[in-house]
Amino acid sequence: MYTPGIWSDALKKKTHRKLLAVVQRIGALRNACSYRTVSEPAILVIAGTISIDVLAQEKKKVFLKKAEVTKTVVKAEARAATVEEWQQLLSLDHRGRWTNRLILELSNWLNRRHGETNYYLTQFLSGHGYFRDCLYKRGKVSNLKCGYCEEEEDDPKHTFFKCDRLADLKHRLESEIEEVTPDNVVGLMLLNEEWWDRVSTYVETILCKKKQEGQLSG
């Protein structure tokens, strides 16, 4: 990010951006312990990594303005504008829809003061992992049906919010916090560290149970 005023505009060219974005995506996948199949927009949100081209533009803005006001103020304003722009780009992107549904308010997610992601939470947030719809696309299982209820396709929404056979675990979580839906669960996690940990435990318990009980094969 040295002297972005000179080179940041070069990233507006797709081929230049792509070269750096590939490296950045690999770093974000590793940071979030993610499956490699997660799309670039989704993994950057989960890992809280600002896209390289947007970050370069932000640094350029700060560089050009820093003589006018104090650096701290300029940096904060530029970061707020970056997050707003990022949120708008996500709303237009067809990739990472599940992640966007869960993480509705990007600024709240990025500015949180507690909560680390891990192997299981990243599966939950990305929708890539111990789900038969994912495994089916990769040719690892012969069908998409949930092995517990055999009624619906096994995807993250079904696993964590809909499956009757896993409802006891969901009810236990809801007795500890409150009713959870795809639209409010991340908001509840962000309210306090205890609730973050309770959702994290719920997610890990279900995913480990699915693996141990042979739901990821056949």
Query: Where does this chain bind Zn ion (CB under 5 A)?
Result: 146, 148-149, 163
Supply angle C-alpha 158, 159, 165, rounded to 5. Answer: 95
The region that residue 70 occupies, defined by phi over 0 for left and psi between -120 and 50 for alpha, beta otherwise, is: beta
Q: How far is the CB of 214 from Zn ion (least distance, A)?
A: 14
Nearer to Zn ion, 75 or 145 (CB): 145
Q: Exposed, middle or buried by CB within 10 Å (0-12, 13-18, 19+), for 185? A: buried
Nearer to Zn ion, 60 or 170 (CB): 170
What is the C-alpha to C-alpha distance for residues 111 and 50, in angstroms, rounded to an integer?
13
Q: How far is the CB of 164 from Zn ion (least distance, A)?
A: 7
Q: How far is the CB of 23 from Zn ion (least distance, A)?
A: 39
Nearer to Zn ion, 49 or 159 (CB): 159
Q: How far is the CB of 163 from Zn ion (least distance, A)?
A: 3
Nearer to Zn ion, 59 or 170 (CB): 170
